Amino acid sequence: MDTFLTQPKQTFVNLSPEKRESIVRAAVSEFAEQGYQRASLNNIVKRLGISKGSLYQYFDNKEALFLHVFDHFTQQVKQYVKASVGGNGRDDFFVVARQVLLAGIAFIDSHPEYFQVYLKVLFERDVPRREELVARVRLFSLEYFGPLADLAMGQGVLRSDIPSQKVVFILDAMLDRFLQGYAQPYLDGGLALAGMSAGRLDDEIDSMVAVLRTGLQPSGNGE
Amino acid sequence: MDTFLTQPKQTFVNLSPEKRESIVRAAVSEFAEQGYQRASLNNIVKRLGISKGSLYQYFDNKEALFLHVFDHFTQQVKQYVKASVGGNGRDDFFVVARQVLLAGIAFIDSHPEYFQVYLKVLFERDVPRREELVARVRLFSLEYFGPLADLAMGQGVLRSDIPSQKVVFILDAMLDRFLQGYAQPYLDGGLALAGMSAGRLDDEIDSMVAVLRTGLQPSGNGE
DNA sequence: CCATAATATGACCAGGCGGTCACATTATGA
DNA sequence: TCATAATGTGACCGCCTGGTCATATTATGG
């Protein structure tokens, strides 16, 4: 998780941070809009006002540029999750779920295009090293909630008639789908999540977590 | 919902049903693998062993071919849902949810490529008449569950502290995401839904519906 | 049989793609 | 100052795309 997918050429490293950022930004934008295969290097250099030859001085090829962008993305995600989730293991299972969901929302709000890149990777063929890329992101959720669910189940906080793995799947599915709906029009089920005020969004999240809590906790612990 | 998105040329209608089907099949296959924009008419005619000119005798252009394919898809979906869901309005809310989910699974099993086309449309830009296409599919779920949820809430079968619209969102999200996981590798949360036997799949579905039931019904009606 | 209509064909077009490379420009440091 | 290294440039390449069209083939029915 900590190693890089690819390395830019030395020429790119020598660039000023501003220029490096602007290049990454333009690339993210293009990959977010078009996905990997349709993304056009000609477009990217046109946006940047640099020549195509320069881009090839910075990265070996399209794939290397894309992997560099994805590296940036995973680093950002890591930061957000780490910052949003307290960290001590004694938090309530569903409180943590709520925190993770909020972290996701915050991430999408500040890096909407990165999330689009991720969604494109999920549903596009022939993305270089796709399995590996997806795994890097999804393991955040699965490896994070897995042990947490095991722990919660041991403490009797989760209903015991459903294996913890399924609990993780359900939790992951709900959170992931909520974020999809937030980021993608048409998937919000008429809830208009996209343009929603922070307050109303909180309500939606509360409802969802409430349902998860009631549905996943042992019977009898009601509300 | 009943009108067609597009009409093939008369030449296509004159074709034998076998040839029409083989053409649609080849097109579905290409659109499923590549999405709309990346799909190649050259590929399609190569697969079919016909000339490009012929394809243009059947359809005005790429968009018309695609819309015809999507028309086929929605018709198929309608059939499956209609066939799988009993229909009388007196069924238990969550039993219906289970039926719809099973209908979705059955549909993906027998038309995996159609579902891929739909997923591609959801996450691709510049798909012609995308809003309209997505709406045609999603309204099945929303318009179907909406009234059903209102009814169930009136009967006190659903918890009253969450608006029925949110209930529909949650239900729709869970079902939709389950189908995504079934159709798409990486999204099954390590549950290996894809290659799963019918029996074990039933278990997974039962778990999910059980959680929804417990989570969504009024407190006190436990189990 | 033969004229006409319907259908099939694939070379061709303009445009875009990822990638290359000979050359122009700028930075470096002795 | 000036040789050398580093960096920037865009015309160019082969390939593929959606779409066209003059021409060849086949079906039709009087």
Interface touch A142/B189, C-beta < 8 Å: yes
Q: Which region among A38-42, A80-84, B133-137 has the lowest average model confidence (pLDDT)?
A: A80-84
Between A37 and B164, name the one with better pLDDT: A37
Nearest nt (C1') from A30 Cα: C17
Show the domains of chain A with their CATH numbers: 10-216 (1.10.357.10)
Give the 3-state secondary structure of A104-149: HHHHHHHCHHHHHHHHHHHHCCCCCCHHHHHHHHHHHHHHHHHHHH
Closest C-alpha among B92, B68, B93 to residue B171:
B93
| Secondary structure (DSSP) of chain B | --S-S----HHHHHS-HHHHHHHHHHHHHHHHHHHHHH--HHHHHHHHT--HHHHHHH-SSHHHHHHHHHHHHHHHHHHHHHHHS---TTS-HHHHHHHHHHHHHHHHHH-HHHHHHHHHHHH-SS-TTHHHHHHHHHHHHHHHHHHHHHHHHHTT-S-TTS-HHHHHHHHHHHHHHHHHHHHSTT-STTS--TT--HHHHHHHHHHHHHHHHHHHSPTT---
CA/C1' separation B65–C6 (Å): 21
Give the 3-state secondary structure of B3-17: CCCCCCCHHHHHCCH
Residue of B nearest to A122 (CA): B186
Six token digits for residue B190: 């390590």
B-chain CB neighbours of A139 within 8 Å are none
What CA dihedral angle connects A124, A126, A131 and A133, to 10 degrees? -70
Instruction: Work out the end-to-end distance of chain A between its first and last CA atoms, rounded to an integer number of angstroms.
Output: 38
Q: Which region among A115-124, A206-215, B137-146 has the lowest average model confidence (pLDDT)?
A: B137-146
Q: Is residue A86's pLDDT more than 70?
A: no
Interface touch A211/B170, C-beta < 8 Å: yes
CA/C1' separation B119–C6 (Å): 38
CA distance B142 to A75: 37
Between B213 and B139, name the one with better pLDDT: B213
Flag whether residue B144 sits within 8 Å of chain A, measured between CB atoms.
Answer: no
Instruction: Work out the end-to-end distance of chain B between its first and last CA atoms, rounded to an integer number of angstroms.
Output: 38
Q: Grade residue A141 by pLDDT with cuts at 50, 70 and 90.
A: confident
Q: Grade residue B222 by pLDDT with cuts at 50, 70 and 90.
A: very low
- What are phi and psi for residue B82, nearest 5 degrees? -60, -45
Q: Is residue B86's pLDDT more than 70?
A: no
Between A102 and B67, name the one with better pLDDT: B67
Question: Rounded mean pLDDT of chain A?
Answer: 90
Interface touch B168/A176, C-beta < 8 Å: no
Cα angle for residues B29, B73, A185 (degrees, 5° grid): 95
Mean pLDDT calculated for residue range A96-123: 93
Which residue out of B113, B170, B202 would a mutagenesis test of the A interface target, given it has the greatest number of A Cβ atoms within 10 Å? B170
CA/C1' separation A18–C24 (Å): 25
Partner residue opposite B207 with nearest CB, options A122, A135, A166: A166
Give the 3-state secondary structure of B130-167: HHHHHHHHHHHHHHHHHHHHHHHHHCCCCCCCCCHHHH
Interface touch B186/A131, C-beta < 8 Å: yes
The pLDDT score that the predictor gives to residue B130 is: 95
Query: pLDDT of B25-60, one tens digit each?
Result: 999 999 999 999 999 999 999 999 999 999 999 999
CA distances from A7 to A3, A10, A69, A70, B111 (A): 10, 9, 11, 12, 41
Q: Grade residue A53 by pLDDT with cuts at 50, 70 and 90.
A: very high
Closest C-alpha among B166, B167, B170, B177 to residue B204:
B177
φ/ψ bin of B147: left (φ > 0), alpha (ψ from -120 to 50), beta (otherwise): alpha
Question: If you search the block for the tokens 């972290």, which residue do you land on?
Answer: A103
Cα angle for residues A192, A195, A200 (degrees, 5° grid): 75
Cα-only R_g, chain A: 20
Q: Establish whether the CB of A51 is closer than 7 Å to any nucleic acid atom in strand D.
A: yes
Mean pLDDT calculated for residue range A141-156: 89
Query: pLDDT of B164-173, one tens digit each?
Result: 888 998 899 8
Q: Is residue A129's pLDDT more than 80?
A: yes
Mean pLDDT calculated for residue range B183-211: 87
Which residue out of B177, B205, B212 would a mutagenesis test of the A interface target, given it has the greatest number of A Cβ atoms within 10 Å? B177
B-chain CB neighbours of A101 within 8 Å are none
The pLDDT score that the predictor gives to residue B87 is: 62
| Secondary structure (DSSP) of chain A | --S-S----HHHHHS-HHHHHHHHHHHHHHHHHHHHHH--HHHHHHHHT--HHHHHHH-SSHHHHHHHHHHHHHHHHHHHHHHHS---TTS-HHHHHHHHHHHHHHHHHH-HHHHHHHHHHHH-SS-TTHHHHHHHHHHHHHHHHHHHHHHHHHTT-S-TTS-HHHHHHHHHHHHHHHHHHHHSTT-STTS--TT--HHHHHHHHHHHHHHHHHHHSPTT---
Q: Is residue A181's pLDDT more than 60?
A: yes
Q: Grade residue A65 by pLDDT with cuts at 50, 70 and 90.
A: very high
The pLDDT score that the predictor gives to residue A222 is: 41
The pLDDT score that the predictor gives to residue A198 is: 87
Q: Grade residue B92 by pLDDT with cuts at 50, 70 and 90.
A: confident
